[in-house]
């Protein structure tokens, strides 16, 4: 019975992937079509490599969860809703909103098709993440034809650390894939054509709800900045179209900040404990303390006078955001992985400097100001949260892989980057 269901599920999944590939190729423009299969193969190949103990842990407990399902198929819903897992020893208890618990449940479901195979489970997760990234790259290319299409290819499909960490059995795989797909749908709603049929509108709303839920469940503190920035983008764009807001960078920036502050105030007022100041600061503090304790003898971040208060964390927020983007320094450690990250950081800082020069010279690119500011706001908020809560530089680099594509897409928009990508025959 298990084998029959696995064969059936794999046939359905492979058919769906084949259908999607055909549609994706047809809908992509000529400059993007040639990147579809190579970048998909790259993402899958990266996913087949071992991603450490976290991946093995999720797969192991996912197998236990699948075994529990086969013992009591009628209790599937209760099993999905529960937060207690049973394996070869004492029960494993996790709190309800644990993203570790959630990815174990996702892996447990995929095990029905993969029969616990690491490779097959990794392939399906990698393909799912790639679908979200590809949808975003194509959507941005269609909505903003004057902008650099190669920027999306490099940022979301080719950048090494993003490809590595956002593939296989990792939380980043689901975080980036769901966030990219969610943003693609929002961009289409804001800048694209309005669906004509009621079914098309309903389908869009259903997908928006599902992807937002998945993104929040996978990494709560990463989802809040993205959702807040997207809401601010929608509100600012509507205000511009109704004539309530003047065009220009400064009015849009002020409106964006006001929108985020208002949304945050409402969220704190009605969202309960998960968005309260006490909960957020305590979670950031606990993550910081735990990260320090596990980073002895390795390069890490230290905030000497940091306290678990809003004012203290706010004072360190700019430094945390900056260190997320530039640490580790090249030469901070002789270990190959730190050397590789140091080289990546040099390239990232170079892009930041070149982009700043382009902005000063009045050549920032061809994107709407509201979109640029919304994504910059998201990048800054997320960089600060990552830097405050993740002193371990190895873990920080993994978390940062979800942030980098958005920042890189913006940094590669100026004319100098567009010309360079053209010479490399990436995009138009």
How big is the CA angle at 211 (ends 206 and 212), to the nearest 5 degrees? 100
Taking a C-beta distance cutoff of 8 angstroms, is the pair 110, 124 a contact?
yes
Residue 17: half-sphere exposure toward Cβ, Cα within 13 Å: 17
Q: What is the pLDDT of residue 322?
A: 95
Show the tokens assigned to 175: 């975080």
Show the tokens assigned to 78: 């209760």
Mean pLDDT score, 313-335:
91
Show the tokens assigned to 399: 């978390």
Alpha-carbon span 35 to 149, nearest angstrom: 12
pLDDT digits (tens, 9 = 90+) for 379-407: 999 999 999 999 999 899 999 999 999 99
Alpha-carbon span 165 to 405, nearest angstrom: 12
pLDDT digits (tens, 9 = 90+) for 272-317: 556 667 778 888 999 999 888 888 888 889 999 999 998 999 999 9
Show the tokens assigned to 79: 């099993």
Q: Quickly list DSSP for 276-298.
A: SHHHHHHHHHHHHHHHHHT-TTS
Q: What is the pLDDT of residue 198?
A: 78
Percent of all residues in the chain with a pLDDT value above 70, rounded to a whole number = 96
Alpha-carbon span 352 to 370, nearest angstrom: 20
Q: What is the pLDDT of residue 209?
A: 94
Show the tokens assigned to 135: 């949808």
Which pairs count as long-range contacts for 8-13, CB under 8 Å and 24+ apart, including other chains?
9/112, 9/113, 10/113, 10/120, 13/113, 13/124
Identify the band that residue 244 occupies on the pLDDT scale cut at 50, 70 and 90: confident
Alpha-carbon span 428 to 422, nearest angstrom: 6
* Structure letter (DSSP) for residue 273: G
pLDDT at 193 over 80: no
Contact residues for 291 (Cβ-Cβ < 8 A; gap 6+): 300, 389, 390, 391, 392, 395
Determine how many CB atoms are found less than 10 A away from the CB of residue 254.
13
pLDDT at 118 over 70: yes
* Structure letter (DSSP) for residue 303: -
Determine how many CB atoms are found less than 10 A away from the CB of residue 402.
25
Q: What is the pLDDT of residue 330?
A: 85
Q: What is the pLDDT of residue 51?
A: 75
Contact residues for 257 (Cβ-Cβ < 8 A; gap 6+): 377
pLDDT at 180 over 60: yes
Contact residues for 353 (Cβ-Cβ < 8 A; gap 6+): none
Alpha-carbon span 425 to 414, nearest angstrom: 17
Determine how many CB atoms are found less than 10 A away from the CB of residue 7.
12
Show the tokens assigned to 77: 């819903």
pLDDT at 57 over 90: no
Percent of all residues in the chain with a pLDDT value above 90, rounded to a whole number = 53
Determine how many CB atoms are found less than 10 A away from the CB of residue 274.
13
pLDDT digits (tens, 9 = 90+) for 335-364: 888 899 999 999 999 999 999 998 888 888
Q: What is the pLDDT of residue 268?
A: 64
pLDDT, mean over the chain: 89
């Amino acid at each position: 019975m298990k084998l029959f269901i696995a064969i059936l599920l794999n046939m359905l999944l492979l058919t769906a992937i084949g259908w999607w590939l055909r549609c994706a190729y047809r809908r992509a423009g000529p400059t993007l079509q040639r990147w579809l299969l190579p970048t998909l193969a790259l993402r899958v190949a990266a996913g087949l490599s071992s991603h450490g103990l976290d991946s093995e842990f999720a797969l192991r407990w996912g197998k236990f969860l699948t075994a529990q399902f086969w013992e009591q198929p009628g209790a599937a819903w209760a099993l999905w809703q529960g937060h207690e897992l049973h394996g070869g020893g004492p029960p494993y208890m996790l709190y309800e909103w644990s993203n570790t618990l959630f990815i174990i449940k996702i892996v447990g479901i995929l095990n029905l098709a993969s029969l616990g195979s690491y490779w097959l489970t990794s392939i399906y997760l990698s393909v799912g993440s790639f679908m979200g990234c590809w949808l975003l790259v194509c959507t941005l290319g269609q909505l903003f034809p004057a902008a650099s299409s190669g920027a999306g290819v490099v940022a979301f499909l080719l950048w090494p650390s993003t490809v590595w960490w956002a593939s296989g059995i990792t939380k980043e795989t689901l975080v980036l894939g769901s966030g990219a797909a969610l943003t693609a749908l929002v961009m289409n709603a804001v800048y694209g054509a309005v669906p004509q049929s009621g079914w098309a509108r309903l389908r869009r709303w259903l997908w928006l709800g599902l992807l937002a839920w998945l993104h929040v469940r996978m990494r709560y503190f990463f989802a809040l900045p993205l959702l807040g920035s997207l809401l601010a983008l929608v509100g600012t764009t509507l205000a511009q179209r109704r004539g309530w807001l003047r065009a220009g960078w400064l009015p849009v920036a002020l409106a964006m900040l006001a929108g985020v502050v208002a949304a945050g105030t409402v969220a704190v007022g009605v969202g309960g404990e998960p968005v309260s100041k006490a909960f957020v600061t305590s979670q950031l503090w606990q993550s910081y303390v735990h990260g320090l304790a596990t980073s002895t003898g390795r390069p890490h971040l230290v905030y000497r006078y940091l306290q678990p208060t809003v004012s203290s964390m706010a004072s360190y927020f700019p430094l945390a955001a900056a260190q997320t983007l530039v640490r580790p320094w090249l030469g901070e450690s002789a270990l190959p992985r730190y050397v590789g990250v140091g080289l990546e950081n040099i390239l990232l800082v170079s892009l930041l400097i070149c982009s700043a020069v382009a902005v000063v010279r009045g050549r920032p690119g061809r994107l709407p100001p509201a979109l640029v500011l919304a994504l910059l706001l998201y990048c800054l908020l997320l960089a600060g949260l990552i830097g405050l809560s993740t002193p371990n530089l190895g873990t920080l680099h993994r978390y940062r892989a979800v942030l980098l594509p958005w920042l890189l897409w913006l940094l590669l928009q100026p004319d100098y980057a567009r010309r360079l990508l053209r010479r490399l025959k990436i995009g138009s």
